[in-house]
Amino acid sequence: MLKHLLGRSTRCLLLVAAASEIAALIFILLQVKDVYLPSRTKYGMVLDAGSSHTTLYIYRWPADKENGTGIVSQAAACTVQGPGISSYADDPSGAGTSLQPCLDQAMTIIPATQQRETPTYLGATAGMRLLREQNSTKADLVFAEVSKTIQQYPVDFRGAQILTGNEEGSFGWITVNYLLETLVKFSFTGSWTHPEAAAVVGALDLGGASTQITFHPGRAIEDKSTEVLFWLYGTNYSLYTHSYLCYGEEQALKRLVASLREENLTSVQISHPCYPQGYEENVTTAVLYASPCVPAPATHSPNQTFAVQGTGSPEECSKAVQRLFNFTACGANRTCGFNGVYQPPEQGQFIAFSGFYHVFHFLNLTGGQPLSAARATIKDFCAKEWKEVQAMWPAMNKTRLQDFCGASTYILTLLLQGYKFDNRTWSSIQFRRQVAAVDVGWSLGYMLNLTNTIPMEAPNRVKGQRRDLWTAAVLTTCLALVMLLWTGLALCYQRRFATYETML
């Protein structure tokens, strides 16, 4: 019996030793820095100061996956009331004041403990580019006022700047492809995959003062002024991008009115084929020619008012819009877009956003309709009378409603004759406002670039994440073994004492 008890004691001691060794292993593993621990969310803000309005975007992402893909989400978006900051050239303080309601809202969304470490940027586009060309002093004063306002809030403000046209196009392209996971994707097998460079999609952006086209042409780019190079997730990207200043929707429509007036400068009344029949408005030359995009004729009167009457003629509207472009400057043998600007043939799928989406969404043309349907819808809308248009969209802002014929005709002309899409490639365009519940535009790509949330290479991050997963798996297994060993140890001693009591 004593020999039997000693055998059981030996087995119990062996169990104790095994449990102790595994516990020690757990303590060692707990010293590993790669152990995955839940982390808090980080935030970033971008104020998109466009030519027609400003929007504040709040983004968030898990701090432990700062360099991950597909993990940035849009926490909120706030549209600033009033026009774009470039419109405050004669009232710079008003530009700063206009931002306060949205900044106040942002402070209720971002936790107070994290506000001071929230990177905040203001990026201005074509509206401020035009103001800088027109009067750099006024542009500087506007920037000073908006910066002063933002600095009154407890955020990490990193400055305001004017984006170049190429930057605006490139950051829009990054946003689209980042959200679509066409740059890099984390698979269910726990590894990162790099799609072929040809899998990326192009970006078509239409703002108030400029339009951008950016895509991967899959060939050498002849004009290096239109080329941007990116090294993202271990892959080189050579992109074609070009921004056409003064070809944004708002400036194009102003140029359209000016071109119609130039046909008869002495008249106090002009006919507008893109306005619905029955629509009338008065326009002053001071307002019409206030933009550098709309140069005033030498013989015009600076304070003249003239009447504009809509005639609702789709065919004449199309002809008038085409006169805004120079389609002959490219020549017969040059790969070209318009105005003599080099453009290689489009390749792959495209996402059309901003003004492209908003105008076509109004006409219910964002569902992948064929080109023939888009043409027919626009022609039908342009032929409607003003009373009918008002009756069909009673809630629509009346200062905007009359422009949809001209805007949609302009978009169709820009895409087909300007950017050279056709019946075959039209289906490659998707009109989108959001991807993965995030608004599409340049602002996310801008923030990702400036905060380095997009890594230059993915492999180092992949190894780190795999280590984290391995460590977590080992810890889980060890803890399970300890529980089993201690359970066995308890049973062992329970039986031993039971036997001892029987002997007594």
59-77: burial string, b at 16+ Cβ within 10 Å, e else: bbbeebbbbbbbebebbbb
Strand 54-62, strand 156-162: pairing: unpaired
- Angle of CA points 151, 133, 407, to nearest 5°: 95
The DSSP H or E segment spanning 501 is: helix 459-503
- What is the β-pairing status of strands 429-431 and 350-354? parallel
- Could you identify the residue written with the tokens 């808090």? 40
Q: Cβ(213)–Cβ(419) under 8 Å?
A: yes
Considering 168, 249, 250, 346, which one is annotated as catalytic? 168
Nearest 5 degrees, angle CA 403-CA 256-CA 131? 95
Tell me, rounded to whole angstroms, the distance of Cα 434 from its chain centroid.
8
Q: What is the amino acid identity at position 205? A: D
CA distance linking residue 246 with residue 211, whole number of Å? 8
Give 468's contacts (C-beta < 8 A, 6+ positions apart): 34, 35, 36
Q: Report phi then psi at 118, rounded to 5.
A: -85, 110
222 a catalytic residue: no
210-215 and 202-206: which strand pairing? antiparallel
Residues across the chain: 504
Between vectors from CA 120 to CA 74 and to CA 212, what angle results, nearest 5°? 70
Query: By three-state DSSP, how is residue 31 classified?
Result: coil
For residue 211 the two structure tokens come to 């339009």
Q: Supply φ then ψ for residue 294, to 5 degrees.
A: -125, 80
Q: How far apart are CA 494 and CA 480, in angstroms?
A: 21
Residue 184: phi, psi to the nearest 5? -160, 150
Q: Are strands 350-354 and 202-206 parallel, antiparallel or unpaired?
A: parallel
Q: Which amino acid is at 432?
A: R
| Contact call for residues 272 and 260 (beta carbons, < 8 A) | yes
In DSSP terms, which residues pair with 305 in a beta bridge? Answer: 284
d(CA 224, CA 215): 14
- Residue 278, token pair as written in the block: 């029955």
How far, rounded to the nearest angstrom, does the alpha carbon of residue 313 sit from its chain's CA centroid? 36
Could you give the residue numbers annotated as active site?
A: 168
